[in-house]
């Protein structure tokens, strides 16, 4: 309660003192967030413990990779990108998908999603950080990262575009989320000038990150499997299915384990987004497959390898057909009214996330390398070490996202503010209602 009369006191101070106090209060906010991330019930501790174990296993595996080189992965000169780049691609899409919450709220003024949009933006932050980690672990010489700053091959190399758009998107989302959350903490009305323009820039930016990532591949004339104009639209469609599906799962967890109000209609809006995007994605995949198989030129060797196997090599065939089966089943379920039921919807979401992860990862990155440009067939499977690094990054990202959500919920519900003691933030006795939210949380946009 020490801070109860903060405002009156700051009013009477000279500007420099006030700035000093603001910095102090911001540091206090960060410190409280840090403390809060260690507080939870046993399920929270169990979840965080498991994630931490995987993070440590991942760090351990990455240290081995640093010592012995990328020979610890399944990659070869023939298949020179694998699991890491596959997960990178998938996660850039997941990050871009936050826009599928932002557009309904800020353009179509959807009210159900209004108080939830920030969880999408927070996930974008976590997903971008994971994506960047995946690129970093894929580097043979990570300690030379500063060479990017010294000789940046822009605009010729698409990879430099990717560096720019990913970092830009991370900053945009950090700014919007950080600003809104801190305003709620200070019980201030957020100034529209400070975030609405950034939200609109972020809408276009989100589309750009996944488009640039698609151009990274589709711009390579030497890889016919990637050299297709439909790659970018496919990436966007699959991202806009998998991303919102993940948010449905997140919001289900929020609704189940916290008192944060999640309107049932929010799930239905997201369900529509997921269904339409998944249908478009399946259509685009079909278009791609038709072009490759009906033409039946040597251009289609990689597609043959992926869907049917080539010269007795068929490592990816079970993967891609599982992906297609999962996506088709998810689409079928989503088309049926029964998927309005939360449990059914959640199962469909899990199926399509896994399906798209396979389709976009193992199904998009690896086959472009088989056969090689010289017609040699070498198959790729991730090694244990590589899988542990991958799991470690995923665990680290989920750990970060869990902390972000765990801290954000009490702030937005008005339980953790500058003028309340820390212990009141962790009391959940007074359930949050829509009304108390309106009173406490920033009225972010719609008005």
Partner 1 sequence: MSDLLIHDGPSAQPPSHERGVHEPELTRRSFLRTGAAAVGGMAALAAALSPLRDLATEDIPNLDQFFQKHYKEMSPAEMQQALDRISRKVEERYQVRPHLRDIKRMEGVEFVYALNLSRCIGCRKCVHACVAENNQSRSPEIQYIRVIEMPRGTLDVERGNHHYDHPTVPDADHFYLPVQCHQCANPPCVKVCPVEATWQEADGVTVVDYDWCIGCRYCEAACPYWARRFNFAQPNLPKDQLNPDMSYLSNRPREKGVMEKCHFCLHRTREGRMPACVEICPTGARKFGNVLDPESEVSQILKTKRVFVLKEEVGTLPRFFYYFDERYPNSLDPEAIEIANRLREEEGEAYGSLPGANGPNAAFIAQATPARWDEARA
Task: Provide the minimum distance between the beta carbon of 90 and partner 1 in the complex, in angstroms, as a whole number.
Answer: 18
Give bridge partners of residue 313 from the DSSP assignment: 310
Q: Check residue 434 for interaction with partner 1 (CB under 8 A).
A: no
Helices (H), 37-82: 42-68
Can you tell me the distance from the alpha carbon of 327 to that of 316, in angstroms, rounded to the nearest whole number?
17
Contact 300, 293 (CB under 8 A): yes
Distance in Å, CB of 291 to partner 1, minimum:
17
* Residue 57 binds partner 1 (CB under 8 A): yes
- Which of 8, 12, 14, 42 binds partner 1 (CB under 8 A)? It is 42
Site map for partner 1, 96-135, x if CB under 8 A? Answer: ---------------------------------------x
Nearest residue (CB) to partner 1, 69 versus 197: 69
Segment 360 to 389, residues that bind partner 1, using CB under 8 A: 368-369, 371-376, 378, 383
Exactly one of 2, 11, 14, 156 binds partner 1 (CB under 8 A); that residue is 156
Residue 433 in contact with partner 1, rule: CB under 8 A:
no
Q: Which CA distances in Å does 414 have to 31, 41, 283, 409, 429?
A: 17, 20, 45, 9, 13
User: Applying CB under 8 A, does 68 fall inside the site for partner 1?
Assistant: yes
Which C-beta is closer to partner 1: that of 234 or that of 415? 415
What is the nearest approach in angstroms of partner 1 to the Cβ of residue 212? 13
281: exposed, middle or buried (C-beta count within 10 Å: 0-12, 13-18, 19+)? buried
CA distances from 349 to 119, 152, 241, 285, 319 (A): 17, 40, 9, 19, 18
CA distance 342 to 344: 6
User: With contact defined as beta carbons under 8 Å apart, do 241 and 353 qualify?
Assistant: no
CB of 425 to partner 1, least distance (A): 10
Q: Site for partner 1 (CB under 8 A): which residue of 27, 148, 336, 439? A: 148
Of 2-10, 126-134, 158-166, 247-255: span binding partner 1 (CB under 8 A): 158-166
Q: Identify whether the C-beta of residue 270 lies closer than 8 Å to the C-beta of residue 248.
A: yes
């Amino acid at each position: 309660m020490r801070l109860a009369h903060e405002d009156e006191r700051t009013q009477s101070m000279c500007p420099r003192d006030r700035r000093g106090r603001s910095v102090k209060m911001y540091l206090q906010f960060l410190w409280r967030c840090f403390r809060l991330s260690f507080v939870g019930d046993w399920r929270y501790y169990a979840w965080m413990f498991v994630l931490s174990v995987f993070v440590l296993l991942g760090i351990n595996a990455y240290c081995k990779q640093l010592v012995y080189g990328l020979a610890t992965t399944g990659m070869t000169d023939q298949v020179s990108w694998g699991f890491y780049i596959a997960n990178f691609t998938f996660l850039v899409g997941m990050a871009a998908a936050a826009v599928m919450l932002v557009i309904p709220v800020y353009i179509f003024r959807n009210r159900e999603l209004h108080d939830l949009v920030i969880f999408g933006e927070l996930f974008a932050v976590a997903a971008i950080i994971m994506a960047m980690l995946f690129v970093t672990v894929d580097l043979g010489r990570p300690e030379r990262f500063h060479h990017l700053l010294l000789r940046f091959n822009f605009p010729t190399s698409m990879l430099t575009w990717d560096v720019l758009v990913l970092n830009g998107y991370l900053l945009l989302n950090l700014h919007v989320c950080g600003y809104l959350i801190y305003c709620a903490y200070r019980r201030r009305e957020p100034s529209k000038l400070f975030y609405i323009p950034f939200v609109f820039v972020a809408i276009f930016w989100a589309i750009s990150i996944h488009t640039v990532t698609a151009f990274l591949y589709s711009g390579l004339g030497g890889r016919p499997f990637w050299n297709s104009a439909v790659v970018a639209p496919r990436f966007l469609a699959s991202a806009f299915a998998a991303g919102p599906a993940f948010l449905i799962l997140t919001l289900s967890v929020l609704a189940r384990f916290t008192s944060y109000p999640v309107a049932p209609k929010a799930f239905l809006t997201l369900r529509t987004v997921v269904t339409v995007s998944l249908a478009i994605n399946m259509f685009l995949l079909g278009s791609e497959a038709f072009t490759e198989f009906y033409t039946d030129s040597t251009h289609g060797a990689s597609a043959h390898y992926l869907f049917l196997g080539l010269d007795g090599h068929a490592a990816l065939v079970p993967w891609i057909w599982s992906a297609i089966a999962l996506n088709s089943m998810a689409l079928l379920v989503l088309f049926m009214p029964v998927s309005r039921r939360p449990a059914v919807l959640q199962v469909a979401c899990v199926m399509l996330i896994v399906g798209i992860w396979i389709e976009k990862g193992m199904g998009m990155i690896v086959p472009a390398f088989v056969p090689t440009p010289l017609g040699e067939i070498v198959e790729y499977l991730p090694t244990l070490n590589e899988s542990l690094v991958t799991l470690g990054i995923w665990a680290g990202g989920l750990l970060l996202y869990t902390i972000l959500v765990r801290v954000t919920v009490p702030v937005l519900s008005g339980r953790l503010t500058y003028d309340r003691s820390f212990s009141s933030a962790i009391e959940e006795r007074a359930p949050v209602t829509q009304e108390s939210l309106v009173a406490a949380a920033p009225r972010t946009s719609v008005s």
